[in-house]
Amino acid sequence: RGIGLRHLLGARIVRDAAATCLPFSALGGIVIGMRATCQREHGGHHAVAWPEAASANVVDITTEVLGQIVFVLLGVVCLIGHQGSDRFVGPVVIGAVLLAFGIAGFIWTQQSGGTAMRRLARFLGRNIATQWQHTMLDGMGTLQERLEDMWSHPGRIAGAAALHLVAWIGSAATIWVAYRFLGAHLSLTNAIAIEGVTCGIMSASFLVPASLGVQEAAYMALGAAFGIDPSLSMGLSLLRRGRDLVIGVPALLIWQIGEMRRMRYRRTLERQQDYADPAMSKSSAS
């Protein structure tokens, strides 16, 4: 069944908030995003099954990376020819090519890697609680079916990747506006160059929690290539982190409140079930 757009949007905000506001890498944010997707939809009676939540997040991440690869290459094209840009172009292009090969393998695994995914599930199953092992192993087949169904609509996949690309270009427009407010004169193509290459550098350091230090260094170095004072680029990075906190912290608090309510509701149901079982046993005996 389809997951509501509002529900997916909320889970996506939680995923990004966890990656930017909590001391986790991007991988930790993905796991939390899947958990948020599994929660019961607003007005719904049943929670989203984990295979469906996982497939939605995996395909979303894949299309996001596809759009990001194009955006990074677009940034490199806009960067070529500027003074001091040579030290960025080569490594970023190599990184984008490697990322393209990696995402191609990831796509193949989603489309026809059922055996590999089941082996991975069995490996992970040895290191998790017993009550979760059967749930994971039984759900792998459903997960593969969901992924194959999504990838059977290439037009939708391409449309999703295009929307992500538009969003990436929109992020370049925001730093262009921010630089203007900070007093730096920068063209939109130069902003695309800075944001595109910065995204490529941050993607290469995805294991660094919230890209701490990486984002600041990238903005300062790339801004200097366009004659922007490093202090302004540092201010831009702080503005970006402030935006992430203003959006992310309330999103995480709302998600946690929802988690607490669901936990209390689940415990109440368990207590009611415990009280009901002895009563039913007595009535059966009489």
Domain boundaries, the chain: 5-280
pLDDT tens for each residue of 111-166: 776 666 666 666 655 655 555 566 666 677 788 888 888 999 999 999 999 999 99
109 close to 116: Cβ distance less than 8 angstroms: yes
CB 29 within 8 A of CB 18: yes
* Predicted confidence (pLDDT) per residue in 168-211, tens digit: 999 999 999 999 999 998 999 999 999 999 998 988 887 788 88
| CA gap 161, 167 in Å, rounded | 10
Question: Which of left, alpha, beta for 116 (phi over 0: left; psi -120 to 50: alpha)?
Answer: alpha
Return the residue matching tokens 């090519």: 97
Q: Name the pTM for this structure.
A: 0.83
DSSP 187: -
4-8, 19-23, 124-128, 245-249: least confidently modelled range: 124-128
